[in-house]
C-alpha cells in the first residue's frame, strides 16, 4: 500500500512541485494550506509523513508540530519541516519540539525524496 | 626661683662672704685668748672699728654693684633675649635679637639671628615650593577640566559611592537631551557635582561593572568594563568604566573611584537593525522563492516526459518566482542602499572644504592654477577626503599630461540625494577609452602613489564618475557623483554663562566625601545645599496665590555651582495680578504654555534630593511648597536654613535683614534681582559669606545654626 504524505504549505508554487514529485514517486498525496487545515487533514487523511512549512496562516508550523506530538496516537507520524527559516536557532527549535528532520529552502528535490524514503523505510 | 630673688640671695651671700671669714677668725682667736689678752684686743680694736666697718661697707657696695651689673647683663639680658626668641619663633618671624650687652651675650644673639635667618630661608623655600606645587596642581586640574570640556565624548568621574566628582559639558548636554519631562531643569537635575550617578545608571549595573574591574585588577589585566544600558527615555547608552586608582604605593592598587564614558548608541543600533533587516530580506526573504524555483526546475529535469500543461505550469513557477526575487532585490537595495554603504569609514565632509583641499594640492603638486564656478556651499558629502582629493589630483595630473589645460575649474551642484563635483577644463578633449584606462590604473601623483585605482575609490564612496563634454562651451569635465550626507548637528543650546570664571564641572575633594546624608551635627561648610527662591502671584498662598517661578542653585563643598541650576517658569493657571508684574517681571504671555506646578514640583523635588534647603525668608517659600504637598504627594522634609534668620544671628543689631540690605552689607556684587534664579544665586552668596561670621560665634554645625536661628526675633514672625 502506498505511503500517505500530507503537504502543508500556503505557497501554491511549492505545493505544485511537491505534489507532482511525490505523486510521480507513487505516494498518496494530500495538501493543506494553513495550520488548522493541516490538523484537520491529519485526522481525516491519516498520513504517514508530514511536509510542514513553518510560516503558515492561522497556526504556525511549530504549533502544528507541537499539537501533533502531544497526541500519543500520532507517535508514528514522521514530521519533516520545510522552511525558509535557516538559522541554526530555528533548526534547533524545530527539532526540539519534535520534528524528525528539518530542511531549509531551497533544497534539492533528490535530497528531499531520499530523506522521505529513509524515514518511511523504503529502500 | 625668680630672678629677683636670686639676685637678693646673691647679695646676702656676698655680704656673708665679706664679713663671715673675719667674724669666724675673730671668734676662734677670741676663744683661744686669755682674759688679759681679751681686754687688750678689745681696746685695740674697738677704737679702730668704724674704719673697718666703713671699709667693709665700701667693699660690699662695690661688690653689690658689680653683682648688679652682672645680673643685668647676663640674667636679665638673656631673659630678654629668650622672650625675643619666642617672639621670633611664634608671632613675628622677621624680628631679630638686638646685639647688646657683653661680648658673650652678643655672640649668642648673633648666633641666634643667624639661625633665624637660616630658618627663614628654609621656610621661604618650603613655602615657595608649596606654592609652586599648588599652582602646578591647580594648573593640572584646569588643564584636565579644559580637556574634558572639549572632549566629544561624555565623561563622568565618580567616587565609589557613585557621587559625581567631575563631568564635562558634553555629558551635561547629553543627559539634558536624554532627560524626559517638559521642564528645562529636569535634565540638569540628573547630573551634578556630588549627585548620585545612580539616578542615571542602575545601581546594580554599576556595582557589577565595578566587580568586573576589581576582578580584572586582581588578575592583573587591563581594568575596563563595558555595558549597555537603557535610559528612562528609552535611549541606549554604551558605557565604559575605567578605574581611578589611588596611589597606594606598594601592593594592591587602591580603587578610589571610576571614570565613565558614555556614548549614545541608539542611532547605531537602529542602523544595525536596518542592516540586519536588509540582510534578512536578501537571504531568508529569497529562500522561499529560490526553493520554489529549485523544486520546479528539479521536476522539469528529472521528469522530462511530463505533459505540456504541467511543463508549462512549472516554467511559470520559475518565471514568477524569478520576477518576485528581482522585485524584492530592488526593494531592498532602494530601502537599504544608504545603510549598506556606511560600512566604509566615510566621514561627513563639507563639499567646499573638499574642493579647497583639492585646489591646494593641485596647486602644490602640479603647479596648475584652479578656479571655482558655481559652488553650493551647503552641501555635505559622505567621503573619505584623503582618497577623494588624491583621486582629483591624479585626474588633474593626467589631464595636464594629456590635454595641457591652462587652468582647471571646480563646480559643485546637487540633484536629489546626490552631489555632483565637476572638474572642468577648456580646450583639447580625449577619448572615452583613454578615460577608462585612467579609471582602472593605480593612481600616481608625482612621487606619491596609491594602491587604489580611481574606480576603487569611487566604488568605495558608493559613487560614480564619468567623462562628459560641454560641446557648446568647447570644454569637458569629469563628474564625480557622491552620496549626500545630512550631517548630524546636535542643537547644543548653551545656557548663558552665569558669572565669570571657569565652569565648575569638577570637585575632586568629593573623592573623600563619602556619606552625604544630612546629619545635623555635621559642619555647615561640608553639606550640600539647594538654595532656592520662588516668585509668586501674591503673598497669600492660602487664598489662592500660586508659584510662578522657581529658581535654585546648588552649593557643594562650600562652592556655589552656577552651572547646576534650576530655572523654571510655572503656569499658575490663573491670571496674574497686574500690580505684581513690575515686581517679578513675569507676564501672562510668559507663563502661558509653561508646565504647571504639578509637573514642575516633582522635577524640583528631584533637584533637591539629598540636600538641605536654603532660602531667604524661607518660611514664605516653604509655605507655598507645603500647600502643594497634598496635591502632588511630594513633601520637602529636609532641614531648611533661612539666610534672613542667619543674618539676624550674625548681625543682631542691624535693623534690616531684607535680601537687598544683606547683600549690601556683605558686599556681594550681583547682576540682577527679582528673578527667582538671580535671587537664589544672591542668597547662596549670602549664605557662603555668613558662614565665617557664624563660626566666629561658635555656630559650626547645622544643629547649632538651626537653634540660633530659632532664637532670633525674626523667627517669631509667622506667615
Q: What is the DSSP string of B527-548?
A: S-EEEEEEEESSS-GGGT--EE
Q: What is the rounded CA–CA span in Å between residue B409 and residue B381?
A: 19
What confidence tens digit (pLDDT) does each residue in B253-303 have? 678 889 998 887 777 777 777 777 777 777 777 888 888 898 888 888 888
Cβ contact, residue pair A109, B303, below 8 Å:
no
CB atoms within 10 A of CB B205: 16
The per-residue pLDDT for B412 is 92
Q: Which residues contact B582 (CB under 8 A, 6 or more apart)?
A: none
Tell whether the model's pLDDT for residue B569 goes beyond 60: yes
Q: Which of B283, B295, B302 sits opposite A14 (nearest CB)?
A: B295
Give the closest-approach CA distance of A116 to chain B in angstroms: 15
Cβ contact, residue pair A86, B287, below 8 Å:
yes
The per-residue pLDDT for A1 is 65
Three-class SS of residue B95? Answer: coil
What average pLDDT does this structure show over B305-326?
Answer: 87
Which residue numbers of B have CB closer than 8 Å to A's CBs?
Answer: 283-285, 287-288, 290-296, 298-299, 302-303, 306, 310, 313-314, 317, 320-321
Q: What is the rounded CA–CA span in Å between residue B217 and residue B213?
A: 6
**Residue with grid cell 662672704, as numbered in its chain:** B17
Q: Which of A105, A107, A109 sits opposite B299 (nearest CB)?
A: A109
What confidence tens digit (pLDDT) does each residue in A71-114 have? 888 888 999 998 887 667 777 778 888 889 988 888 888 889 99
Cβ contact, residue pair B295, A17, below 8 Å:
yes
Cβ contact, residue pair A110, B313, below 8 Å:
no
Task: Give the active site residues of B.
Answer: 674
What confidence tens digit (pLDDT) does each residue in B411-465 have? 998 887 788 899 999 888 787 778 888 888 888 887 777 777 888 888 878 788 8
User: Contact B394/B445 with Cβ under 8 angstroms?
Assistant: yes
What average pLDDT does this structure show over B166-172?
Answer: 82
Q: Directed axis angle between helix B49-70 and helix B35-46, to 10°? A: 70
Cβ contact, residue pair B292, A11, below 8 Å:
yes
Tell whether the model's pLDDT for residue B501 goes beyond 50: no
Mutate to test the interface with A, among B284, B297, B309 (most CBs of A within 10 A): B284
What average pLDDT does this structure show over B658-671?
Answer: 83
Q: What is the rounded CA–CA span in Å between residue B164 and residue B174?
A: 16
DSSP letter at B197 equals: G
User: Contact A5/A112 with Cβ under 8 angstroms?
Assistant: no
Q: What are phi and psi of B303, to 5 degrees?
A: -125, 65
Q: Which of A17, A20, A86 sits opposite B292 (nearest CB)?
A: A17
Cβ contact, residue pair B290, A105, below 8 Å:
yes
Which residue numbers of A have CB closer than 8 Å to B's CBs?
Answer: 11, 13-14, 16-18, 20-21, 24, 82, 84-86, 104-110
Confidence of residue B353 (pLDDT cuts 50, 70, 90): confident
Q: Which of A13, A18, A20 sits opposite B321 (nearest CB)?
A: A13
Q: What is the rounded CA–CA span in Å between residue B190 and residue B173?
A: 11
Q: Directed axis angle between helix B432-440 and helix B385-402, to 10°? A: 140
How far is the first Cα of chain B from the last one, in angstroms, to the nearest whole number? 69
Q: What is the pTM of this model?
A: 0.49
Give the closest-approach CA distance of B328 to chain A in angstroms: 15
Give the closest-approach CA distance of A106 to chain B in angstroms: 4
Q: Which residues contact B47 (CB under 8 A, 6 or more apart)?
A: none
Q: Which of B283, B288, B295 sits opposite A18 (nearest CB)?
A: B295
What average pLDDT does this structure show over B517-534?
Answer: 85
What confidence tens digit (pLDDT) does each residue in B601-659 have? 888 888 888 888 999 988 888 888 888 888 888 888 888 899 988 988 888 877 788 88
User: Contact B386/B357 with Cβ under 8 angstroms?
Assistant: no
Cβ contact, residue pair B298, A24, below 8 Å:
no
Give the closest-approach CA distance of A107 to chain B in angstroms: 6
What confidence tens digit (pLDDT) does each residue in B101-121 have? 888 888 888 998 899 889 889
The per-residue pLDDT for B182 is 52
Write out the three cell numbers for B529.
545645599
The per-residue pLDDT for A31 is 93
What confidence tens digit (pLDDT) does each residue in B62-90 have? 988 998 888 888 888 888 888 888 877 77
Tell whether the model's pLDDT for residue B135 goes beyond 60: yes
User: Contact A28/A5 with Cβ under 8 angstroms?
Assistant: yes
Tell whether the model's pLDDT for residue B512 goes beyond 70: no
Question: Percentage of residues in chain B with pLDDT exceeding 90?
Answer: 8
What average pLDDT does this structure show over B331-336?
Answer: 73
Nearest CA among B505, B545, B529 for reference residue B683: B529
Give the closest-approach CA distance of A18 to chain B in angstroms: 7
The ipTM estimated for the assembled molecules is 0.77
CB under 8 A, 24+ apart: contacts of A113-121: A113/A21, A113/A25, A115/A80, A116/A5, A116/A22, A116/A27, A116/A49, A116/A80, A119/A49, A119/A78, A119/A80, A120/A3, A120/A48, A120/A49, A120/A78
Tell whether the model's pLDDT for residue B345 goes beyond 70: no
The per-residue pLDDT for B131 is 92
Question: Percentage of residues in chain B with pLDDT exceeding 70?
Answer: 89
What average pLDDT does this structure show over B659-670?
Answer: 84
Amino acid at each position: 500500500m502506498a505511503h500517505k504524505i500530507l503537504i502543508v504549505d500556503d505557497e501554491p508554487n511549492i505545493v505544485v512541485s511537491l505534489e507532482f514529485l511525490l505523486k510521480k514517486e507513487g505516494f498518496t498525496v494530500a495538501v493543506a494550506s494553513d495550520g488548522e487545515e493541516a490538523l484537520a487533514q491529519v485526522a481525516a487523511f491519516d498520513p504517514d509523513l508530514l511536509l510542514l512549512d513553518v510560516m503558515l496562516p492561522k497556526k504556525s508550523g511549530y504549533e502544528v508540530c507541537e499539537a501533533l506530538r502531544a497526541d500519543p496516537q500520532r507517535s508514528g507520524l514522521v514530521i519533516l519541516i520545510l522552511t525558509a527559516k535557516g538559522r541554526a536557532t530555528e533548526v534547533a527549535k524545530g527539532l526540539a519540539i519534535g520534528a524528525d528532520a528539518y530542511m531549509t529552502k531551497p533544497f534539492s528535490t533528490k535530497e528531499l525524496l531520499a530523506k522521505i524514503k529513509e524515514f518511511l523505510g523504503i529502500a | 626661683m625668680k630672678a629677683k630673688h636670686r639676685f637678693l640671695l646673691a647679695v646676702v651671700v656676698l655680704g656673708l662672704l665679706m664679713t663671715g671669714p673675719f667674724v669666724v677668725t675673730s671668734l676662734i682667736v677670741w676663744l683661744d685668748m686669755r682674759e688679759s689678752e681679751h681686754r687688750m684686743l678689745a681696746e685695740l680694736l674697738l677704737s679702730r672699728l668704724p674704719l673697718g666697718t666703713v671699709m667693709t661697707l665700701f667693699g660690699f657696695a662695690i661688690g653689690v654693684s658689680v653683682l648688679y651689673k652682672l645680673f643685668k647683663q647676663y640674667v636679665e639680658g638673656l631673659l630678654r633675649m629668650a622672650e625675643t626668641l619666642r617672639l621670633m619663633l611664634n608671632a613675628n618671624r622677621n624680628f631679630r635679637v638686638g646685639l647688646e650687652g657683653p661680648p658673650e651675650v652678643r655672640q649668642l644673639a648673633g648666633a641666634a639671628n643667624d639661625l633665624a635667618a637660616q630658618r627663614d630661608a628654609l621656610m621661604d623655600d618650603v613655602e615657595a615650593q608649596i606654592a609652586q606645587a599648588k599652582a602646578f596642581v591647580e594648573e593640572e586640574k584646569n588643564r584636565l577640566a579644559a580637556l574634558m570640556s572639549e572632549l566629544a565624548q561624555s565623561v563622568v568621574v565618580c567616587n565609589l559611592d557613585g557621587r559625581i566628582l567631575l563631568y564635562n559639558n558634553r555629558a551635561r548636554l547629553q543627559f539634558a537631551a536624554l532627560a524626559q519631562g517638559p521642564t528645562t531643569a529636569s535634565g540638569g537635575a540628573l547630573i551634578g557635582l556630588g549627585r548620585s550617578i545612580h539616578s542615571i545608571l542602575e545601581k546594580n549595573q554599576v556595582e557589577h561593572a565595578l566587580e568586573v574591574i576589581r576582578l580584572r585588577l586582581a588578575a592583573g589585566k587591563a581594568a575596563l568594563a563595558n555595558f549597555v544600558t537603557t535610559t528612562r527615555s528609552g535611549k541606549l547608552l554604551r558605557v565604559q568604566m575605567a578605574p581611578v586608582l589611588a596611589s597606594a604605593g606598594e601592593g594592591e592598587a587602591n580603587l578610589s573611584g571610576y571614570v565613565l564614558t558614555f556614548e549614545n548608541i541608539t542611532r547605531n543600533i537602529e542602523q544595525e537593525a536596518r542592516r540586519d533587516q536588509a540582510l534578512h530580506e536578501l537571504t531568508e526573504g529569497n529562500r522561499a522563492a529560490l526553493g520554489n524555483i529549485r523544486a520546479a526546475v528539479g521536476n522539469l529535469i528529472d521528469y522530462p516526459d511530463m505533459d505540456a500543461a504541467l511543463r508549462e505550469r512549472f516554467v511559470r513557477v520559475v518565471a514568477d518566482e524569478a520576477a518576485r526575487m528581482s522585485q524584492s532585490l530592488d526593494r531592498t537595495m532602494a530601502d537599504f542602499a544608504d545603510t549598506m554603504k556606511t560600512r566604509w569609514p566615510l566621514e561627513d565632509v563639507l563639499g567646499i572644504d573638499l574642493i579647497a583641499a583639492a585646489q591646494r594640492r593641485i596647486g602644490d603638486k602640479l603647479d596648475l592654477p584652479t578656479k571655482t564656478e558655481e559652488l553650493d556651499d551647503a552641501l555635505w558629502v559622505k567621503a573619505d577626503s584623503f582618497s577623494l582629493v588624491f583621486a582629483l589630483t591624479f585626474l588633474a595630473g593626467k589631464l595636464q599630461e594629456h590635454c595641457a589645460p591652462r587652468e582647471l575649474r571646480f563646480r559643485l551642484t546637487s540633484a536629489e540625494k546626490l552631489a555632483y563635483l565637476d572638474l572642468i577644463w577648456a580646450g583639447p578633449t580625449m577619448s572615452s577609452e583613454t578615460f577608462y584606462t585612467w579609471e582602472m590604473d593605480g593612481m600616481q601623483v608625482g612621487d606619491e602613489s596609491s594602491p587604489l585605482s580611481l574606480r576603487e575609490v569611487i566604488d568605495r564612496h558608493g559613487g560614480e564618475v564619468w567623462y562628459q563634454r560641454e560641446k557648446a562651451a568647447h570644454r569637458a569635465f569629469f563628474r564625480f557623483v557622491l552620496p549626500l550626507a545630512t550631517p548630524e548637528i546636535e542643537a547644543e543650546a548653551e545656557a548663558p554663562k552665569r558669572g565669570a570664571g571657569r565652569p565648575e564641572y569638577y570637585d575632586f575633594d568629593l573623592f573623600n566625601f563619602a556619606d552625604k546624608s544630612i546629619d545635623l551635627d555635621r559642619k555647615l561648610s561640608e553639606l550640600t545645599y539647594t538654595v532656592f527662591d520662588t516668585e509668586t502671584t501674591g503673598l497669600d498662598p492660602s487664598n489662592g496665590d500660586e508659584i510662578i517661578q522657581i529658581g535654585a542653585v546648588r552649593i557643594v563643598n562650600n562652592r556655589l555651582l552656577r552651572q547646576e541650576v534650576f530655572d523654571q517658569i510655572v503656569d499658575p493657571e490663573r491670571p496674574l495680578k497686574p500690580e505684581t508684574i513690575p515686581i517679578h517681571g513675569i507676564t501672562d504671555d510668559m507663563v502661558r504654555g509653561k508646565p504647571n506646578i504639578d509637573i514642575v514640583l516633582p522635577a524640583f523635588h528631584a533637584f533637591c534630593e539629598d540636600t538641605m534647603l536654603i532660602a531667604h525668608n524661607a518660611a514664605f517659600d516653604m509655605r507655598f511648597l507645603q500647600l502643594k504637598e497634598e496635591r502632588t504627594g511630594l513633601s520637602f522634609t529636609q532641614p531648611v536654613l533661612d539666610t534672613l534668620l542667619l543674618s539676624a544671628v550674625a548681625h543682631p543689631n542691624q535693623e534690616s535683614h531684607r535680601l537687598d540690605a544683606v547683600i549690601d552689607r556683605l558686599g556681594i556684587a550681583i547682576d540682577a534681582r527679582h528673578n527667582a534664579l538671580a535671587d537664589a544665586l544672591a542668597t547662596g552668596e549670602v549664605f557662603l559669606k555668613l558662614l565665617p561670621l557664624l563660626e566666629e560665634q561658635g555656630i559650626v554645625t547645622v544643629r547649632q545654626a538651626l537653634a540660633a536661628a530659632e532664637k532670633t526675633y525674626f523667627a517669631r514672625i509667622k506667615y
